[in-house]
């Protein structure tokens, strides 16, 4: 039985395993062409270098733009993690042919830890609760409400929590990703049960860490505001964007790449169903949060929406209603649409754009409450980080089989109709 | 495409884990018909009459209580001025919640192609319909003037007066009534092929009147290809419509609380959290009923331990979600920095209703966690106890949300304690009487398992089955011996 060896430390950050490309069936390999991963990576690095110029000019703006871009990549990985775990738990058979890409996407977490370093320098700019004067009763800046939250909102505990989240996520990613790659070369019959087991204990941990991560990274940007559904809102957006991204990648791989004839219309139909369902789910959560706050109209909660409904931000709120819900809902509704790779692939691109708008709309009014402001840094940080994530993803995919080639359900998944 | 099929032959590896068959005991198509249909055809057993008498007595109790309450006024309940919503609303949310599992099993699991649903969907949908009937009684009768309840409907009238469309109580009227209608249609559409089966059997037995009645309800179904094609489409469409409906109904029920500004009620997580709780309690009720029914009706081979295990897993998942929502509410109450919000939760855990809160916590948060253990998930006595415990816990959840938030809110001068009266208690007991009366009638007159669907998941229903298993006319000898209890 072939054993998959671990990589050295730096390599481990990019891919924990040595290449198993040689053992992959030729049909399941990405072409030798390094441009597939090097081009997005180069674009990403280039744009981040450009963003550094922005940091010199306007550090405050840079940190906010960077946080939105970084959170975007985080939601991509978190959505993929949920995707993989839920498929293992429900013993889904259809999904096997389209499971390797989300599995490889999981290994984005270590890179995200490294990419989080710039945010550490910007904590003071981003998070009002990091300012010591708000806790000082003698200071004019004293804020009794924030002083009451100090036990939770303080930098050491904040960093400790983030370390904990990433420990859990990376551990889950490591288990699920390496088990699946190991199966490519070693068809150990116990692997599916192991994957299910990891998913079983991983799922509750996932729920708790994702919710608290959403409070830490996004909700505490406006530390007076609170909403119990916010964790679910964050998760709904994450799964939404990950489904779109996975579908788009497969649409490309199946149209022009090695997966032609392997990933077919029925797989796209199922992915399209999930995209459709989670469009509706996101809308349900977003509407519930908005409607209940609007209805109760309690000042401490309503303020958050007031900032997003005036000074130009109302335009983005409308864009979200129509672009994040109505448009994908109507387009993805017909049976035929979900089976058309070109269409669901295009929708996946739209999902990414609109999900970024969603995160922008959550975070940015904290910085620009007075008027809606787009900055070139928003785009460079977002696409820079996104490019790096995509580049690393395809780097990993080029080293291993593109489908879990010894999964017991693979034949059934390939025969899906 | 040709490319793909070529791959398949190369890749056709044997499954490492052979899934156990959904229907055990080697039942044939005919065995399933016999097994399910006989219970609606034979003479009513004594045990059924005994159970029915008890349930019917409960239903009479309910009717008596409602009549007494309408005649004397709602003051016969324990409700007081801060606690204007007492047990009737608690029971309403409880029963609506029970109903949700049926739609989940029939619609959502159908959309996810979970074939194990076929054995339980009929009974679960029936449970939905009866639970919604029980639920609808409470909003109708908890008003002071039940004879004016039609004012909630937007009917043109000589006063030019319309209902207030901003009230979630009005949304309830629309939500629950459309939920009832759609569930009923969905259930009935699913029943048509089975009613046709019963009709044909009645005709063979020479029971003319029975055949005529069943024939009327079977709508002339003859199982033609064209029928089935349309039937499948309709079923898919109804499943697609019922799924958002089921999520929205309990969300609307949660809006009754969450749109208010009462601390402990006004929280944004209520919609998904109520839905999760509804599925949780609904599945518990399905398990309770199925454990008894499969034993009493000899359906152990159709509703197997694997089915029950899957239901327990769903209970575990939704129970964990509910537990997570408890923690979230508690944390955000502290995090909000709003003293009323903070007090509402301290009061739940340590106030005069702490006993109810801790019953809820232990039943809903701790008990389902035992289902992590596979042995317990497949242990029928244990799951039976657990499913009842979960429903007690879920009733208390609604009790805690409704009453502890109301009895102490903004003004200490309007704090009070709520004590239920005997009418409250008997009305709740009576609602169970109504539910079981209807459910027993269903078991008696309607096939409790969707025969046509269960036949569809048998191995023989696979078009490729006979390529490997002979011509299908000679079943193997061992299977002949292993027939289920179809005597």
Residue to mutate among A143, A228, A406, with most B CBs inside 10 A, is A228
Interchain pair A411, B338: CB under 8 A: no
Q: Which residues contact B72 (CB under 8 A, 6 or more apart)?
A: none
DSSP codes, A43-105: HHHHHHHHHHHHHHH-HHHHHHHHHHHHHHHHHHHHHHHHHHHHHHHTT-SGGGGG-HHHHHH
**CA angle at residue A155 from A151 to A161, to 5 degrees?**
80
Judge whether A273 is closer than 8 Å to chain B, CB to CB: yes
Higher per-residue pLDDT: B476 or B460: B460
Interchain pair B324, A292: CB under 8 A: no
Task: Over range B404-412, report the average pLDDT.
Answer: 88
Among candidates B7, B17, B251 on the partner chain, residue whose Cβ is nearest the Cβ of A262:
B7
Q: Tens-digit pLDDT profile for chain A (417 aa)?
A: 456 677 677 777 777 877 777 777 777 777 777 777 788 889 888 888 888 888 888 888 888 899 999 999 999 999 999 999 988 888 888 888 888 899 999 989 999 998 898 888 888 788 888 888 877 777 777 777 777 788 888 888 999 999 999 999 999 999 899 888 888 888 877 888 888 888 888 999 999 999 999 999 998 888 888 889 999 999 999 999 999 999 999 998 888 778 777 788 888 888 998 999 899 999 999 999 999 988 988 877 777 777 778 888 888 888 888 989 999 999 988 888 888 888 888 999 999 999 999 999 988 888 887 788 888 888 888 899 999 999 999 888 888 888 888 777 777 777 777
Interchain pair A227, B268: CB under 8 A: yes
Q: Which of A112, A153, A54, A126 is nearest to A363 (CA)?
A: A126
**DSSP tag of B306:** H
Q: Which of residues 289-308 of A touch B (CB under 8 A)?
A: 289, 291-293, 295-296, 298, 300
Judge whether A215 is closer than 8 Å to chain B, CB to CB: yes
* In contact, B323 and B364? CB cutoff 8 Å: yes
Q: Which of A201, A242, A204, A237 is nearest to A218 (CA)?
A: A237
Q: Which residues contact B51 (CB under 8 A, 6 or more apart)?
A: B436, B440
Q: Which of residues 351-390 of B touch A (CB under 8 A)?
A: 372
Q: Which residues from chain A sit within 8 angstroms of residue B251, using beta carbons?
A: 284, 288
Residue to mutate among B14, B18, B320, B337, with most A CBs inside 10 A, is B337
CB atoms within 10 A of CB A63: 23
Token output for B397: 């959840």
Q: Which residues from chain B sit within 8 angstroms of residue A273, using beta carbons?
A: 111
Higher per-residue pLDDT: A32 or B188: B188
Interchain pair B328, A211: CB under 8 A: yes
Highest mean pLDDT among A185-194, B191-200, B464-473: B191-200
Interchain pair A232, B4: CB under 8 A: no
Whole-model pTM? 0.88
Higher per-residue pLDDT: B303 or B474: B303
Q: Which residues contact B205 (CB under 8 A, 6 or more apart)?
A: B41
Distance CA A390, CA A245 (A): 10
Task: Over range B306-315, report the average pLDDT.
Answer: 88
Interchain pair B332, A411: CB under 8 A: no
Among candidates A200, A284, A410 on the partner chain, residue whose Cβ is nearest the Cβ of B11:
A410
Q: Which residues contact B291 (CB under 8 A, 6 or more apart)?
A: B308, B380, B383, B384, B387
Distance CA B426, CA B255 (A): 28
Domains of chain B from N-terminus onward: 31-459 (1.20.1630.10)
pLDDT at A246: 92
Quick check: B5 pLDDT over 70?
A: no
Gap from B447 CA to chain A (nearest CA, Å): 29
pLDDT at B17: 44
Question: pLDDT grade, residue B470 (50/70/90)?
Answer: low
CA A246 to chain centre: 11
Q: Which residues contact A14 (CB under 8 A, 6 or more apart)?
A: A7, A107, A110, A111, A392, A395, A396
Judge whether B324 is closer than 8 Å to chain A, CB to CB: yes
Distance CA A178, CA A189 (A): 15
> What residue in A sits closest to B108 (Cα-Cα)?
A277
Q: Which of B166, B170, B165, B259 is nearest to A292 (CA)?
A: B259
Q: Which of residues 155-184 of A touch B (CB under 8 A)?
A: none
**DSSP tag of B305:** H
* In contact, A228 and B268? CB cutoff 8 Å: yes
Among candidates B4, B324, B332 on the partner chain, residue whose Cβ is nearest the Cβ of A208:
B324
> Which contiguous run of DSSP H or E holds residue B307?
helix B305-336
Share of chain B above pLDDT 70, in %: 90
Phi-psi region of B264 (alpha: psi -120 to 50; beta: other; left: phi over 0): left
- Helix residue spans in B362-421 (DSSP H): 374-377, 380-399, 405-407
Residue with tokens 């977002």: A382
Q: Which residues from chain B sit within 8 angstroms of residue A189, using beta carbons?
A: 16-17
Interchain pair A414, B11: CB under 8 A: yes
Distance CA A36, CA A149 (A): 47
Instruction: Share the mean pLDDT of chain B.
Output: 84
Distance CA A30, CA A259 (A): 9
Interchain pair A261, B337: CB under 8 A: no
Judge whether A26 is closer than 8 Å to chain B, CB to CB: no
pLDDT at B477: 41
Among candidates B271, B324, B338 on the partner chain, residue whose Cβ is nearest the Cβ of A288:
B271
Distance CA A70, CA A75 (A): 9
Among candidates A228, A408, A409 on the partner chain, residue whose Cβ is nearest the Cβ of B267:
A228
pLDDT digits (tens, 9 = 90+) for B56-67: 999 999 999 999
pLDDT at B460: 67
Gap from B215 CA to chain A (nearest CA, Å): 35
Residue to mutate among A90, A215, A229, with most B CBs inside 10 A, is A229
Distance CA B135, CA B140 (A): 9
DSSP codes, B39-82: HHHSPPPHHHHHHHHHHHHHHHHHHHHHHHHHHH-GGGSS--SS
Residue to mutate among B252, B269, B274, B464, with most A CBs inside 10 A, is B269
pLDDT digits (tens, 9 = 90+) for B159-171: 889 998 989 999 9
What are the φ/ψ torsions at residue B340 (nearest 5 degrees)?
A: -65, -45
Gap from B348 CA to chain A (nearest CA, Å): 18
pLDDT at B466: 64
Distance CA A32, CA A26 (A): 11
Burial class (CB in 10 A: 0-12, 13-18, 19+), B343: middle
Quick check: B201 pLDDT over 90?
A: no
Among candidates B16, B259, B372 on the partner chain, residue whose Cβ is nearest the Cβ of A189:
B16
pLDDT digits (tens, 9 = 90+) for B6-31: 344 334 444 434 567 777 777 778 88
Q: Which residues from chain B sit within 8 angstroms of residue A192, using beta carbons?
A: 16-17
Cα-based distances in Å from B119 to A141, B236, B385: 65, 18, 22
Judge whether B244 is closer than 8 Å to chain A, CB to CB: yes
Distance CA A400, CA B112 (A): 30
pLDDT at B463: 65
Judge whether B397 is closer than 8 Å to chain A, CB to CB: no
What are the φ/ψ torsions at residue A6 (nearest 5 degrees)?
A: -80, 155
pLDDT at B454: 84
Distance CA A334, CA A81 (A): 28
Q: Which residues from chain B sit within 8 angstroms of residue A275, using beta carbons?
A: none
């Amino acid at each position: 039985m072939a054993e998959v060896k671990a990589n050295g430390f730096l390599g481990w950050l990019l891919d924990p395993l040595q290449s198993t490309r040689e053992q992959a069936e030729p049909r399941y390999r990405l072409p030798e062409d390094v441009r597939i991963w090097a081009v997005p990576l180069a674009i990403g690095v280039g744009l981040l270098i450009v963003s550094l110029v922005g940091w010199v000019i306007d550090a405050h703006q840079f940190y906010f733009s960077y946080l939105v871009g970084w959170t975007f990549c985080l939601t991509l990985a978190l959505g993929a993690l949920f995707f993989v775990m839920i498929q293992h738990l429900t013993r889904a058979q259809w999904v096997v042919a389209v499971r390797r890409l989300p599995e490889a996407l999981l290994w984005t977490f270590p890179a995200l830890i490294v990419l989080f370093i710039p945010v550490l320098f910007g904590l003071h700019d981003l998070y009002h609760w990091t300012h010591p004067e708000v806790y000082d009763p003698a200071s004019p800046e004293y804020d009794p409400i924030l002083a009451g939250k100090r036990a939770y909102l303080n930098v050491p505990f904040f960093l400790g929590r983030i370390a904990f989240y990433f420990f859990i996520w990376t551990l889950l990613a490591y288990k699920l990703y390496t088990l699946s790659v190991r199966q490519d070369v070693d068809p150990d019959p116990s692997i599916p049960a192991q994957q299910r087991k990891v998913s079983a204990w991983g799922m509750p941990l996932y729920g708790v860490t994702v919710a608290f991560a959403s409070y830490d990274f996004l909700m505490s940007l406006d530390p007076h505001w609170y909403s119990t559904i916010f964790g679910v809102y964050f998760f709904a957006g994450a799964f939404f964007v990950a489904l779109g991204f996975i579908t788009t990648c497969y649409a490309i791989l199946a149209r022009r790449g090695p997966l032609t004839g392997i990933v077919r219309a029925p797989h796209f139909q199922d992915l399209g169903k999930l995209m459709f369902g989670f469009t509706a789910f996101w809308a349900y959560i977003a509407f519930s949060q908005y409607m209940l706050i609007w209805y109760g109209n309690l000042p401490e909660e309503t303020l958050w929406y007031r900032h997003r409904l005036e000074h130009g931000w109302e335009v983005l709120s409308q864009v979200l209603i129509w672009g994040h819900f109505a448009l994908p809902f109507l387009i993805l509704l017909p049976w035929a649409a979900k089976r058309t790779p070109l269409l669901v692939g295009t929708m996946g691109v739209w999902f990414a754009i609109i999900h970024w708008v969603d995160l922008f709309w959550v975070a940015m009014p904290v910085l620009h409450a007075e008027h809606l402001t787009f900055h070139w840094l928003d785009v460079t940080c977002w696409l820079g980080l996104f490019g790096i994530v995509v580049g690393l993803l395809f780097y990993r995919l080029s080293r291993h089989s593109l489908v879990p080639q010894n999964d017991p359900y693979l034949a059934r998944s390939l025969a899906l109709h | 495409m040709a490319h793909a099929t070529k791959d398949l032959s190369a890749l056709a590896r044997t499954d490492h884990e052979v899934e156990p068959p959904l229907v055990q005991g080697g039942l044939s198509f005919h065995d399933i018909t016999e097994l399910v249909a006989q219970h609606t055809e034979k003479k009513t057993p004594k045990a059924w009459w005994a159970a029915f008498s008890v349930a019917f007595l409960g239903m009479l109790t309910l009717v008596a209580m409602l009549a007494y309450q309408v005649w004397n006024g709602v003051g016969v309940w324990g409700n007081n001025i801060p606690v204007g919503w007492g047990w009737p609303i608690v029971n309403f949310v409880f029963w609506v919640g029970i109903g949700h599992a049926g739609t989940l099993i029939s619609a959502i699991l159908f959309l996810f192609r979970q074939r194990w649903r076929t054995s339980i969907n009929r009974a679960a949908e029936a449970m939905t319909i009866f639970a919604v009937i029980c639920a609808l009684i409470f909003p109708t009768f908890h008003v002071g003037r039940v004879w004016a309840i039609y004012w909630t409907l937007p009917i043109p009238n000589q006063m030019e007066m319309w209902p207030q469309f901003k009230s979630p109580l009005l949304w309830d009227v629309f939500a629950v009534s459309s939920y009832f209608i759609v569930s009923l249609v969905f259930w009935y559409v699913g029943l048509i092929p089975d009613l046709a089966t019963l009709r044909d059997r009645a005709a063979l037995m020479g029971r003319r009147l029975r055949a005529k009645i069943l024939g009327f309800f079977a709508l002339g179904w003859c199982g033609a290809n064209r029928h089935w094609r349309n039937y499948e489409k309709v079923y898919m469409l109804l499943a697609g419509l019922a799924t958002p409906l089921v999520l929205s109904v309990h969300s609307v029920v949660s809006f009754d609380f969450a749109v208010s500004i009462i601390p402990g009620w006004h929280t944004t997580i209520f919609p998904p959290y109520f839905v999760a709780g509804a599925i949780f309690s609904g599945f518990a009720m399905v398990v309770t009923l199925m454990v008894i029914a499969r034993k009493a009706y000899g359906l152990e081979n159709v509703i197997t331990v694997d089915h029950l295990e899957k239901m327990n897993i769903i209970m575990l998942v939704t129970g964990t979600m509910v537990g997570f929502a408890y923690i979230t509410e508690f944390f955000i109450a502290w995090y909000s920095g709003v003293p009323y919000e903070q007090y509402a939760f301290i009061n739940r855990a340590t106030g005069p209703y702490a006993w109810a809160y801790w019953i809820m916590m232990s039943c809903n948060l701790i008990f389902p966690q035992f289902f992590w253990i596979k042995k317990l998930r497949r242990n029928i006595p244990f799951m039976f106890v657990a499913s009842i415990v979960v429903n007690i816990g879920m009733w208390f959840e609604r009790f805690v949300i409704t009453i502890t938030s109301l009895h102490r809110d903004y003004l200490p001068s309007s704090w009070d304690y709520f004590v239920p009266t005997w009418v409250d208690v008997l009305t709740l007991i009576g609602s169970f009487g109504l539910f079981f009366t209807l459910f027993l009638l269903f078991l008696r007159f309607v096939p409790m398992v969707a025969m046509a669907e269960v036949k569809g998941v048998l191995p023989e229903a696979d078009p490729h089955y006979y390529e490997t298993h002979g011509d299908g006319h000679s079943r193997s000898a061992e299977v002949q011996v292993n027939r289920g209890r179809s005597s």
